[in-house]
Amino acid sequence: MKLDRFARLARACRRLSAVFKAGTLAVAVTVAGCGGGGTTPQTHDGGVRPLSAEFSSRKAVAYSPYRTATSVDGLAAETIPKANIKQDLDLLVAAGFGLIRVFDSSDKVAKQTLEVIRENKLDIKMQLGLYMQSGDDVFNRNEIARGVALAKAYPDIVLAVSVGNETMVSWSFNKIDPQVMRGYLKLVRDQITQPVTTDDNYAFWRDTDATITDVVDFAALHTYPELDTVFVPEPGLFDWRQKNVSDSQRAAAMMDAAIGEARYQYQLARTHLDRLGRADIPIVIGETGWNAVDVGALKFRAHPVNQKMYLDRLQAWAAEGRTGAGPKAIFYFEAFDEPWKQGDDKWGLFNVARKARYAVKDFFPAAQWVPGDTSEPATASLSDASAVHWKAPTVNAAVTANRYVIFADTVGASDLREAGLQFDPFVKTFWQTVPDAAPGDTPSALEIDPRPEVWGWGMLYQSRSAVTTNLSNFAKGRLEFSVKTTYPGTIEVALLTDTEEKGAVEAYVQLSNGDHGYCNTGTWCQVSIPVSAFLAKNPNLDLRMVTGRFVIADRYANTGKASGANITTKLTIDAVVWTQ
- Specify the CATH number for the domain of residue 72: 3.20.20.80
Long-range contacts of 353-361 (CB under 8 A, 24+ apart): 354/87, 354/88, 354/91, 355/379, 356/91, 356/95, 357/292, 357/304, 357/307, 357/308, 358/292, 358/304, 358/305, 358/307, 358/308, 358/382, 359/292, 359/304, 359/307, 359/308, 359/311, 360/95
Tell me: do 500 and 355 sit in the same domain. no
CA distance 310 to 414: 51
CA distance 560 to 309: 41
Strand boundaries in 19-66, DSSP class E: 59-62
Tell me: do 33 and 177 sit in the same domain. yes
Helices 250-275 and 304-323, axial angle in degrees (round to 10) = 40
Please provide the DSSP assignment of 403-414 as one string.
EEEEE-S---TT
Total H helices, total E strands in the chain:
15, 19
In a domain, 391, yes or no: no
CA distance 320 to 329: 10
Tell me: do 334 and 480 sit in the same domain. no
Amino acid at 433: T
Structure confidence by residue, pLDDT tens digits, 74-115: 999 999 999 999 999 999 999 999 999 999 999 999 999 999
In a domain, 393, yes or no: no
What domain range includes position 274? 7-386
CA distances in angstroms from 240 to 157, 303, 383, listed in the order given: 39, 15, 22
Tell me: do 58 and 101 sit in the same domain. yes
In a domain, 396, yes or no: no
Confidence of residue 534 (pLDDT cuts 50, 70, 90): very high
Q: Return the H-helix or E-strand segment holding 527.
A: strand 525-530
Last residue of a domain, one of 355, 386, 417: 386
What pLDDT is attached to residue 17?
28
Tell me: do 380 and 424 sit in the same domain. no
What is the SS3 assignment for 286? strand
Q: Is 165 in contact with 103 (CB distance < 8 Å)?
A: yes
Q: Is 234 in contact with 260 (CB distance < 8 Å)?
A: no
Amino acid at 572: T
Q: Is 314 in contact with 288 (CB distance < 8 Å)?
A: yes
Structure confidence by residue, pLDDT tens digits, 269-279: 999 999 999 99
In a domain, 111, yes or no: yes
Confidence of residue 231 (pLDDT cuts 50, 70, 90): confident
In a domain, 398, yes or no: no
Residue 238 pLDDT > 70? yes
Q: How far is C-alpha 460 from the chain's CA centre?
A: 22
Tell me: do 76 and 164 sit in the same domain. yes
Structure confidence by residue, pLDDT tens digits, 330-375: 999 999 999 999 888 999 999 999 999 999 999 999 999 999 888 8
First-last CA distance in the chain:
47
Amino acid at 482: S
Radius of gyration of the chain (CA): 26
What pLDDT is attached to residue 207?
96
Burial of 23 (0-12, 13-18, 19+ CB in 10 A): exposed
In a domain, 456, yes or no: yes
Out of 11-20, 141-150, 339-348, 525-534, which region has the weakest mean confidence (pLDDT)? 11-20
Residue 198 pLDDT > 60? yes
In a domain, 520, yes or no: yes
CA distance 508 to 498: 15
Last residue of a domain, one of 321, 352, 386: 386
Residue 11 pLDDT > 90? no
Average pLDDT rounded to a whole number, residues 435-446: 96
CA distances in angstroms from 476 to 412, 418, 482, 497, listed in the order given: 21, 21, 20, 17
Q: Is 129 in contact with 111 (CB distance < 8 Å)?
A: no
Tell me: do 343 and 469 sit in the same domain. no
Tell me: do 407 and 336 sit in the same domain. no
Residue 440 pLDDT > 90? yes
Tell me: do 349 and 227 sit in the same domain. yes
What pLDDT is attached to residue 502?
63
What is the SS3 assignment for 133? coil
Tell me: do 330 and 207 sit in the same domain. yes
Q: Is 421 in contact with 461 (CB distance < 8 Å)?
A: yes
Tell me: do 138 and 91 sit in the same domain. yes
Domain count, the chain: 2
What pLDDT is attached to residue 21?
27
Last residue of a domain, one of 358, 386, 414: 386
Q: Is the pTM of this model over 0.85?
A: no
Q: Which of 176, 197, 199, 179 is nearest to 188 (CA)?
A: 197
In a domain, 537, yes or no: yes
Residue 446 pLDDT > 50? yes
Taking 3-state DSSP, the helix, strand and coil percentages for the chain, each rounded to the nearest 5, stand at 35, 20, 45
Tell me: do 110 and 169 sit in the same domain. yes
Torsion angle of C-alpha atoms 23, 26, 27, 30, degrees rounded to 10: -170
Q: Return the H-helix or E-strand segment holding 322.
A: helix 304-323
What pLDDT is attached to residue 375?
84
